[in-house]
A = this chain, B = another copy of it.
Amino acid sequence: MYLSKLFIPILKETPAEAKIKSHQLMLRAGMIKQSSTGIYSWLPLGFKVMKKIEQIVREEQNKIGAQELLMPTIQSAEIWKESGRYNDYGEEMLRIKDRQGKEMLYGPTNEELITEIFRSNIKSYKSLPQLLYHIQWKFRDELRPRFGVMRCKEFFMKDAYSFDVDDNEAKKSYNKMFFAYLRTFKRLGLTAIPMTADAGPIGGDLSHEFIILAETGESKIYSDKRIFDIDVNKHVDSESSINNLRKQYDKFYAVTDDKFDKKDFEKKVNKENQLVTKGIEVGHIFYFGDKYSKPLKCTVDLQDGKKIYVKMGSYGIGVSRLVAAIIEAKYNNNVMKWPNEVAPFDVAIIPSLQKNDNSNLLKAEKIYNSLIKDKIDVLLDDTDEHLSAKFKKFDLLGIPNQIILGSKSTSDKFEFKEIDGKSDSLSLDQIKNKLLNKKNIN
């Protein structure tokens, strides 16, 4: 893509309404545009990043055997009355009347609807376990939407649901999802820590929020530093390996505000390992047994003919929020660097262009054509801005790799660098290999 063709309204100034760096960057880099309070359009640059995140989330869900389907955004109020949540859910639920006066709503979550789908299709214990998920727009009519897509009204979310015959089986589903979440965030270049969260009426240890550290986060967290050193990539998708992983996490204190107990914290964590900071919740997994299956009468037949209420859990990842969360984690000293797997482009070609000399542009185009042949996604800056202005702009765009055609490039060696790294002088083939390696590692 040539920058002059890209639909990307870059802003010189930081809009006053943007209070945190991800919101500022997303507006300045032309990734999003607010269409009304708390509701955003995703412009091409932001859209590309979100789609890549969505795809990673999808692949990691599929890997553990979860099946994708898609529930609609608009739901009937009926099933929410069955579960009792139609009254319990406050004004955050966007309630709608259709032309016939029927009560509808824009789904803020999908426990009821997935239970309804499940109960009309699955009758026997033989069909369990089941893991079903979808990635769909949700709506919560936030009273005070803020921080851009971090806390907005219409947001893109992956929500999965597990169905099992008993608590013991349900725990296995839960742990598989725990594992998939860690792998997902790792691929996104994030260190997300599973923090014990309030388990609600069920109790037990089956509720975790996945939190990434960020000064601007809305969750206060208390943890043992050493929890950051656990490496999910040392584990595989088997019951024993995942149990082992869970045990490692259980060794270290890590809780959010709700569960914080000062005495407990000081007893369990040595002074030098204590970490008290803020974070952003990017995922939440939660086991709730028959909370929905009971009121919605969702049963399966056991081998002996008895009927039991199916045991359920739900598992959310905020896909649109993750775009902002990655920025909070990776935008430092006014330089953004997207992790390779979610970068809007693999590499930028940044030529110095003079009015009466198109030699650099020709060189840039030659490199461009060669790279796209190898399916490397390139953004070529064909504008006539000064090189220093271009660099500033690319610090916003965050494309992780740069080929710079300025004084340091010759006819067959080009200046190549990671956006926050040192320059190398490389041939086109060397650059290509580097870029392809980065793609393959991921």
Contact = CB atoms under 8 A, between A and B. Distances in A.
Contacts of A73: 73, 137, 154
A367 B132 CA distance: 27
Identical subunits present: 2
Nearest to A163: B7
Contacts of A94: 74, 96, 98
Interface residues of A, number: 51
A189 interface: no
A69 B91 contact: no
25 contacts: A7-B67, A7-B69, A7-B121, A7-B132, A30-B121, A35-B72, A35-B116, A36-B74, A36-B75, A36-B104, A39-B74, A41-B69, A41-B70, A41-B72, A41-B117, A43-B117, A44-B69, A47-B68, A47-B70, A73-B73, A74-B139, A74-B154, A91-B99, A99-B141, A99-B143
A42 B67 contact: no
Interface of A: 5-7, 9, 30, 33, 35-36, 39-44, 47, 50, 65, 67-76, 78, 91-92, 94, 96, 98-99, 102, 104, 106, 113, 116-117, 120-122, 130, 132, 137, 139, 141, 143, 153-154
A121 B43 CA distance: 11
Q: Which of A6, A35, A65, A104 has the most CB of B within 10 A?
A: A35
Nearest to A129: B5
A7 B130 contact: yes
Contacts of A76: 35-36, 39
A44 B72 contact: no
B141 A35 contact: no
B120 A39 contact: no
A220 to B, nearest CB: 27
B41 A113 contact: yes
A73 B141 CA distance: 14
Given A9-B121, A36-B104, A72-B154, 19 more contacts: A5-B65, A7-B121, A33-B120, A35-B72, A35-B75, A35-B113, A36-B75, A39-B72, A39-B75, A39-B76, A41-B117, A42-B70, A44-B68, A72-B137, A74-B106, A74-B153, A99-B143, A106-B106, A137-B137
A173 to B, nearest CB: 14
Contacts of A120: 9, 33
A43 B72 contact: no
A25 to B, nearest CB: 17
Q: A75, A94, A98, A104: which has the most chain B beta carbons within 10 Å? A: A98
Most buried by B among A47, A74, A120: A74
Which 5 pairs, one residue from A and one from B, show the smallest C-beta to C-beta distance? A9-B121, A36-B76, A42-B70, A91-B99, A41-B71
B47 A6 contact: no
A403 to B, nearest CB: 23
A49 to B, nearest CB: 12
Contacts of A137: 72-73, 137
A139 B94 CA distance: 15
Contacts of A154: 72-74
Most chain-B Cβ atoms within 10 A of its Cβ — which of A39, A41, A121?
A: A41
A44 B68 CA distance: 6
